[in-house]
Amino acid sequence: MDSILIYQAANDLVQNTGTRNIKRIARSCSLDISETPRFKDVLGFLSLHFDKPLILINSHLDSQTKQMVCGYALGHYLEHQILMDLHTLNKSLAITDKEICLYEPNAFASHLMLDSEEVYQMTKRKMNAAQIATAKRIHINLVLVKLLELHHLGYDLRHYHAQHHAFIKNLNLPAHFQFDVAAG
């Protein structure tokens, strides 16, 4: 899926549910959500073994990571549902540190939880990704993905480019969080 389709699907869902609360959105999509202390090596689990899909979240995680896991599971589930491809979705999906980095489910979750114009205005006020994450009480990875999505959607982020790259360099983050000055 490309950024425009992900953005449109997420914003349609926000409009239909009237909220950006990821757990409320997931529940409105008929997903049950539960937390469990039993997980040690996984962040969460998406299960389709029951009548209703179930998102299990590691209760030991901080609230922002729990949101990200919920959003990731919802994005993964809905991506298959939108593509009418639920039969190819495994009946259970462990969400680990490796899987949580997959781009499309996180892009979808970032669009669900963060308003594009609001995040853009925060960059205009010279807020970096960490400050935006703190202000919005959301995991920094979702903010970084949202900033990349704004770039892909054609937002002019030239005012933010140097600050963003300095932030990425200071935290020694992967280069895929960078975006080019010469945006479309």
Type and span of the H or E element at 80: helix 63-82
Q: Residues for the chain: how many in total? A: 184
- Predicted confidence at residue 182, as pLDDT, reads 42
Does CATH number 1.10.490 belong to domain 3-113? Answer: no
- CA separation for the pair 54, 46 (Å, rounded): 6
Domain(s) labelled CATH 1.10.10 in the chain stretch across: 3-113
Question: Which tens digit of pLDDT belongs to each residue from 32-62?
Answer: 999 999 988 899 988 876 667 899 999 999 9
- Predicted confidence at residue 62, as pLDDT, reads 93
- Predicted confidence at residue 53, as pLDDT, reads 85
Backbone angle region of 84, left / alpha / beta, with phi > 0 → left and psi within -120 to 50 → alpha = left
Q: CA angle 140-141-147, nearest 5°? A: 90
- CA separation for the pair 184, 178 (Å, rounded): 15
pLDDT under 50: residue ranges of the chain = 84, 86, 181-184
Question: Whole-prediction pTM value?
Answer: 0.80
